[in-house]
Structure 1
Amino acid sequence: MTILVAVVSYNSERLIPDLIAGLRTGLDGLKWHLTVADNDSRDNSVALVRELAPEATVVEMGRNAGYAAGINAAVAASPSYDAILVLNPDVRLTPGCVPRLLEALEVPGTGIAVPNLVDGDGVLIHTQRREPSTLRMLGDAFLGARRAGRSRLLGEIVTTPSAYEAETCADWAEGSTQLISAECFARIGPWDERYFLYSEETDFALRARDAGLRTRYVPEAKAVHLEGDSRVSPGLWALLTLNKVRLHRRRHGALRASAFWAATVLRESSRAALGKKPSRAATRDLLTPSRLREKPGPASVARWAR
Structure 2
Amino acid sequence: MGAGSAQALRFAVIVVSFASSDLLRRNAAALELPDDARLVVVDCFSGEAEREQVRALAAQQGWEALLLDANAGFGGGTNAGAARALQLGARVLVALNPDARIDDRSLEALVAAVEADPMLLASPTVLSGDGSPWFAGSDLYLADGVTRGAAARERFQGAPRREWATGACFAMSAALWRRLGGFDEDYFLYWEDIDLSHRALDQGARLALVDAVVEHDWGGTQERERRSRAKSELYYYYNIRNRLLYAVKRLDAQAVQRWSGSAPRVAYGVLKRGGRRQLVTSVRPWRAYLRGLRDGRRLVRAAARTAPRNVERLP
- Provide TM-score, normalisation by structure 1: 0.77
Which structure 2 segments of 5+ residues have no match? Answer: 1-8, 301-315
After superposition, the C-alpha distances for 1:211-249 in whole angstroms (9 at most, x for unaligned) are 11112111x211112376696223311211210111012
- The answer on 1:284 being equivalent to 2:286 is no
- Taking the aligned partners of 2:197 and 2:296, their CA distance within structure 1 comes to 28
Superposed displacement of residue 123, structure 1: 2.1
- Taking the aligned partners of 1:156 and 1:241, their CA distance within structure 2 comes to 21
Question: Which residue number in structure 1 is paired with residue 125 of structure 2?
Answer: 116
Out of 215, 224, 229, the residue aligned to residue 215 of structure 2 is: 224
Out of 78, 98, 101, the residue aligned to residue 92 of structure 1 is: 101
Contact 1:268 1:282 in 2 (8 A): no
Contact 1:231 1:237 in 2 (8 A): no
After superposition, the C-alpha distances for 1:33-84 in whole angstroms (9 at most, x for unaligned) are 1111111122644433443332322222111111111111112223110111
* Aligned residue type for 1:177: C
* Aligned residue type for 1:225: H
Q: Which runs of 4+ in 1 moved over 6 A?
A: 144-147, 154-157, 227-230, 270-275
Gap change, CA 1:40 and 1:270, over 3 Å in 2:
closer
* Aligned residue type for 1:255: Q
Equivalent positions of 1:139-154 (< 5 A) are 151-153=155-157
SS of 1:53's equivalent in the other structure is helix
- Taking the aligned partners of 2:288 and 2:179, their CA distance within structure 1 comes to 34
- Taking the aligned partners of 2:289 and 2:158, their CA distance within structure 1 comes to 22
Gap change, CA 1:279 and 1:46, over 3 Å in 2:
closer
Question: Which residue number in structure 2 is paired with residue 189 of structure 1?
Answer: 181
* Aligned residue type for 1:66: G
Gap change, CA 1:104 and 1:77, over 3 Å in 2:
closer
Question: Which residue number in structure 2 is paired with residue 167 of structure 1?
Answer: none
Gap change, CA 1:63 and 1:154, over 3 Å in 2:
farther
Out of 190, 206, 215, the residue aligned to residue 198 of structure 1 is: 190
Gap change, CA 1:240 and 1:271, over 3 Å in 2:
closer
The CA RMSD measured in Å over matched residues stands at: 3.3
Equivalent positions of 1:210-221 (< 5 A) are 210-218=202-210, 220-221=211-212
Out of 62, 68, 71, the residue aligned to residue 69 of structure 2 is: 62
The sequence identity of aligned pairs, in percent, is 25
Question: Which residue number in structure 2 is paired with residue 17 of structure 1?
Answer: 25
Which structure 1 segments of 5+ residues have no match? Answer: 158-169, 295-306
- The answer on 1:75 being equivalent to 2:82 is yes
SS of 1:125's equivalent in the other structure is strand
SS of 1:171's equivalent in the other structure is strand
Question: Which residue number in structure 2 is paired with residue 38 of structure 1?
Answer: 43
Superposed displacement of residue 103, structure 1: 2.4
- Provide TM-score, normalisation by structure 2: 0.75
Aligned residues: 273
Question: Which residue number in structure 1 is paired with residue 110 of structure 2?
Answer: 101
* Aligned residue type for 1:288: R
